[in-house]
Every structure is written in structure tokens, then in C-alpha cells.
Amino acid sequence: MSLVLDLPPIIEKRLADEAAGVGLSQSQYAVELLAGKLASSAPTHFYFAASHQEFNDALNALAAQTAALPPLPDVAFDR
């Protein structure tokens, strides 16, 4: 995807200076800035952020809390 931005001169100069400071082109640096901003504002739900082990541990903890519940009769699953 391509974007055309009309930046004010002061923003364009700052973008050029910062990009040069890290050895990137202005467009590469702008992409990194945008990607970083989008990544930092994305919601981080436990399901997506947890490791496989953390997720399994959470499920096991949840299952352990249901040990005292009575079993459901077969009719509960019949509709």
C-alpha cells in the first residue's frame, strides 16, 4: 500500500533528521514509526499475549476451581 502525505515543512525536516540519524530513508523510518504506534495501541488480550505454557497453566487453574461442581446429568446436554 502506498500513501501520499502532505507534511508541514517542520515535520518533514524532523522526519528527515531522525531517519538520517538511524540510517534509514524517510519512508522506511515513517513505516517503522507507524508500525510501532499501531503495535503499541493494539489491545493485548491474554489469549494472544500468553505463552503456550502460561495459557495451559491458566486453563488448569480454571479447571481446578470446578472440581467441587456436581456433574451434569445427560439430559442437560439433550436439546
Residue 40 clears pLDDT 80, i.e. is over it? no
Residue 43 clears pLDDT 70, i.e. is over it? no
How many other C-beta atoms lie within 10 A of the C-beta of residue 15?
A: 17
Cell 502460561 locates to: 54
Question: What pLDDT score was predicted for residue 47?
Answer: 80
Helix/strand/coil for 48:
helix
Question: How far is C-alpha 51 from the chain's CA centre?
Answer: 14
Do residues 47 and 55 touch, judged by C-beta distance below 8 A? Answer: yes
The structure's pTM equals 0.51
Quick one: average pLDDT of 9-22? 95
Quick one: average pLDDT of 9-37? 94
Question: What pLDDT score was predicted for residue 33?
Answer: 93
Strand extents, DSSP E, the chain: none
pLDDT class of 72 with cuts at 50, 70, 90 = confident
Do residues 55 and 63 touch, judged by C-beta distance below 8 A? Answer: no
